[in-house]
Each structure stands twice: as C-alpha cells, then as structure tokens.
Homo-oligomer: A and B are copies of this chain.
Amino acid sequence: MCSVDSERLHAMQIGLIGLGKMGFNMRERLRRSGTEVLGYDPHVNSSDVSSIDALVEALPPPRIVWVMVPAGAPTQETITHLSQALSPGDLVIEGGNSRFSEDIHHAKALDARGIGYIDCGVSGGIWGLENGYALMVGGSEEHVDRAMPLFDALRPEGPRSEGFVHAGPIGAGHYSKMVHNGIEYGLMQAYAEGFELLEATKLVENVPAVIEAWSRGTVVRSWLLDLLVRALKDDPELSGISGWTQDSGEGRWTVEEAIRNAVPVPVISAALFARFASRQETSPSMKAVSALRNQFGGHSTSRADAALDQVKAAAR
C-alpha cells in the first residue's frame, strides 16, 4: 500500500505534449490531483503554450515532459525535438503506443544530451479520466522514483501495485503494455465467439439478457463483459455496428514477439487474423479454395454470380 507524497505532488509542474483523446483527459486528471500541467498540441485549441520550445521555456529545470502523441514518426520527431530543447537533468516520459524496440533508440538519443527517459504503457481509454490509468513503466529506479507523484496521480485509486508497475529497464513498460493488448485481443474474440454462438441458436431467446446475467458470480465476469452489456443495451442486435475491425500495432507486435521467442500463441494470433479477415471484402485465400473445389469436384460452380444467387436465396 502506498501513501502518496502529496506535498511533493502539489509542488509538481510538468509539460505534456499531445492533447488527443488520451492526453487531454490525462491533463485533466493530473490537474485534479494538484499537479500543474502545461499542455501542448499543435492541433488543439486548448494548448497552454504555443510551441514545444515555449513549453520548455516555461518549465523550471529540472523538467519532466510527458509525450503522448501517436506512435511512429510523430513520437520520433517529438523526441528528437526535445533532445535539442531540453537540458541535462531533464526527464522525458514517453506514454504513447510505441513499439518497445523504439525505446532504446529514444533513450540513447536523450541520454547523449544528459536527459533521462522512461517508457510508459498507459491503459484506460476514455474511462481513464474517472477510473484512473493503469501504468506500466520501464527505466531506471532513480527516474521512476522522481516521476512517482505523476504516476500516483494518474493511476487508479487503491494499492499502487494494482494499477502501476515498474516492469524493468527501458522498454519493459511498452513491452508489458504490448502483451496486455495482445491478451485484450484474445479476450474480446472469446466473448465475440460466444456471442455469435448464442445468436446462432433459436434456443436462447434473449442473448443480451444472458450476457448481462454473466455480470456477477460467473467465471467470465470482467470489465470487457460489462462493456458488452452496455453495447447490447444501446443496440441489442448490434445492427448499427459494422464488423469491419481495425487492429493496432500492439496485436501484431505481440505475435511477432511470440514468434521471435518461439512461444505458441494460437489464441492471440487467431484474434488478430479475425480482424484482418473482417476488413476483406473478398478473401483471396477463399477464392483459391473455391477454385480448387471447382477443379476437382465438379462441385456446383461457385463463380461469383452463382454465389450471389445463393446468398440471395438464403436471404429469402
């Protein structure tokens, strides 16, 4: 159980670059805790300063700057800019959805100028403002200690160990978040398959009610289940929802890392592939299977128009 060092917290002042869905709410949660936050985002009216340089200028050293911009080029460019603008003794926390393998490059670039680095995986989505954000961080003991008041302000209430972890050296935070997201893919797909199977049988008359009944006392109760209950209350047959499902980098990286470490991940990969397939109007694989069946089977032709006929017939 931790006791938050509130005096130190109140004295804190930080910079926050990126005021998108995540950063905007994080600024608000930090402010509620008494932290002074200077937020900057070139695309957002509510920026507190007009540029990264102005942000750096306004913060008294030693500074802490939290970076919360999209992974890839935007994060890379922000880190590069900060490596020039900040001073030795400052500290950067990279809280975006970067691949863990990027962290070592970011840390090196900053370290060359005497600037510290922490990578931080942040979970919580739009619910984080109220519920708090779960934080997985990588970096040195010294840097993590220094930023702890921020982590305590952002994380959910309750024991520190239940919403925060210093997972290891640089990269370990994003690695942990990556695996978290990989698991998330598997969990969502498991619920989704169960939902589809309930929908497929006539025996079960009220699928949303069955799923809601799993909310308490069952083995499958979870926050994701609660969200599914909510979604089904909004739209009991999900008729307004498309099956077209995006995937983020973390799911892919999880499977790549599994392959690199020879770890079998049949469930996480199946969930990832289901998303790939959801975005295909037609599957080239299945065209090949269908073509093979035509070749050997004299199977009733499944040329596109014939298939269309069958779909139409089935719809009647």
* B273 near A210: Cβ-Cβ < 8 Å: no
Q: How far is the CA of A271 from the CA of B242 in the complex (A)?
A: 24
Q: Looking at the complex, which one of B161, B230, B282, B298 makes contact with A243 (CB distance below 8 Å)? A: B282
Q: How far is the CA of A224 from the CA of B134 in the complex (A)?
A: 18
B-facing residues in A71-123 (Cβ within 8 Å): 100, 123
Q: Collect the chain B residues with CB atoms within 8 Å of residue A3's CB.
A: none
In the complex, the count of this chain's copies comes to 4
Q: Collect the chain B residues with CB atoms within 8 Å of residue A196's CB.
A: 263, 265, 283-285, 288
Tell me the minimal C-beta distance from A308 to chain B in angstroms: 8
* A190 near B192: Cβ-Cβ < 8 Å: no
Q: Collect the chain B residues with CB atoms within 8 Å of residue A287's CB.
A: 192, 238, 241-243
**Stretch of A9-17, A61-69, A165-173 lying at the B interface:** A165-173
Tell me the minimal C-beta distance from A205 to chain B in angstroms: 4
The number of chain A residues touching the other chain, given as a range, is 35 or more
Hey, what's the 0/1 contact readout for A179-220 against B, CB within 8 Å counting as 1? 111111111111111111111110111100110111111111
Q: How far is the CA of A290 from the CA of B223 in the complex (A)?
A: 16
Q: Looking at the complex, which one of B190, B200, B278, B282 makes contact with A187 (CB distance below 8 Å)? A: B190
**Stretch of A39-47, A49-57, A254-262 lying at the B interface:** A254-262
New A-B pairs, 20, CB < 8 Å, besides A125-B296, A134-B213, A196-B284: A131-B216, A163-B216, A163-B217, A163-B218, A167-B205, A171-B203, A175-B201, A188-B289, A188-B293, A189-B266, A190-B190, A192-B284, A193-B267, A219-B296, A227-B292, A228-B292, A241-B290, A243-B287, A244-B286, A277-B283
* B243 near A283: Cβ-Cβ < 8 Å: yes
* A304 near B240: Cβ-Cβ < 8 Å: yes
Chain B residue nearest to A255 (CB atoms) is: B259
Tell me the minimal C-beta distance from A201 to chain B in angstroms: 6
* A286 near B240: Cβ-Cβ < 8 Å: no
* A281 near B132: Cβ-Cβ < 8 Å: no
Q: Collect the chain B residues with CB atoms within 8 Å of residue A230's CB.
A: 295
Q: How far is the CA of A311 from the CA of B298 in the complex (A)?
A: 34
Q: Collect the chain B residues with CB atoms within 8 Å of residue A308's CB.
A: 242
Q: Is A140 an interface residue (CB 8 A)?
A: no
Q: Which 7 A-B pairs have the closest CB atoms?
A: A186-B190, A222-B222, A165-B213, A243-B286, A242-B307, A134-B217, A264-B273
Q: Looking at the complex, which one of B213, B231, B279 makes contact with A295 (CB distance below 8 Å)? A: B231
Tell me the minimal C-beta distance from A251 to chain B in angstroms: 9
B-facing residues in A148-176 (Cβ within 8 Å): 155-158, 161-169, 171-172, 175-176
Q: How far is the CA of A136 from the CA of B207 in the complex (A)?
A: 12
Q: How far is the CA of A32 from the CA of B101 in the complex (A)?
A: 50
